[in-house]
Amino acid sequence: MKKKLIIFDLDGTLVDTSVDICNAINYAIEPLDVPPVSVEETKFLVGEGITRLFEKLLVRKHKKFSCSQLVERFSEYYSSHLIDFSAPYSNVLETLGSLKGFRKAVVSNKRESFTMRIMNELDLVRFFEVVVGGDTVPSKKPSPEPLNYVLSKTAVAPEDAVIVGDSNYDIEAGKAAGIGTVGVTYGFRSIEYLREADFIIDGIGELEAVLGAVR
């Protein structure tokens, strides 16, 4: 029997948001008098929410600065530049449109308000029944709590669901929730972070074939 529910990650899975996030980070850290971060460094830093990102960055830069100040500066800039350079990955819209037999949800560690705005502005929200952001429930991925929230909202059993994501946080959350896991290699994390996934795909267009094999 095929899965009934597909839960997608957003950043690095459905949408390439790396440049806009990088620009917002560099705006935020400008007062620190440190070199700007690159897009590749940004891809490695994201995944656990913006507060955790700046905690990791401050340790890396050996700087003492209030995370709350950086988060405030980041949010101020990012709110006005959400999709300057962000766009769905290749074949995302086509694939979502073809998955008519599945219920679909998004679980992101990005703030719910940012998540919804990006999905609305990029014409993605119409495909999804439930959208969960990093502040929708108390815990973020890799906690299973946001996935369990989706299962509860949709009344779908764990064995009938699968998560599709680009990071170890998605895979760990899926395993903890008892649902299937599919890692995508084109996103923010390299393949070594996806080794524990049940399936690994190189393009979102491969998802339909994989879903036929997921049990």
- What does the pLDDT read at residue 121? 96
> Which CATH number does the domain housing residue 100 bear?
3.40.50.1000
**Greater confidence, 68 or 136?**
136
Task: Tell whether 71 and 135 lie within a shared domain.
Answer: no
Dig out the tokens for 58 from the structure: 């401050």
Residue 6 belongs to what H/E stretch? strand 5-8
Q: pLDDT digits over 162-174, tens only?
A: 999 999 999 999 9
pLDDT band with cut points at 50, 70 and 90 for residue 21: very high
Task: Tell whether 143 and 49 lie within a shared domain.
Answer: no
Task: Tell whether 91 and 178 lie within a shared domain.
Answer: yes
Task: Tell whether 74 and 178 lie within a shared domain.
Answer: no
CB contact burial 181-201 (16+ within 10 A = b; e otherwise): bbbbeebbbeeebbeebbbbb
Q: How many domains does the chain have?
A: 2
Instruction: Supply the residues annotated as catalytic.
Output: 9
Task: Tell whether 40 and 114 lie within a shared domain.
Answer: no
Residue-range definition of the domain harbouring residue 192? 5-16+86-211
Task: Tell whether 194 and 92 lie within a shared domain.
Answer: yes
Q: pLDDT digits over 28-63, tens only?
A: 998 887 889 999 999 988 888 888 888 877 766 656
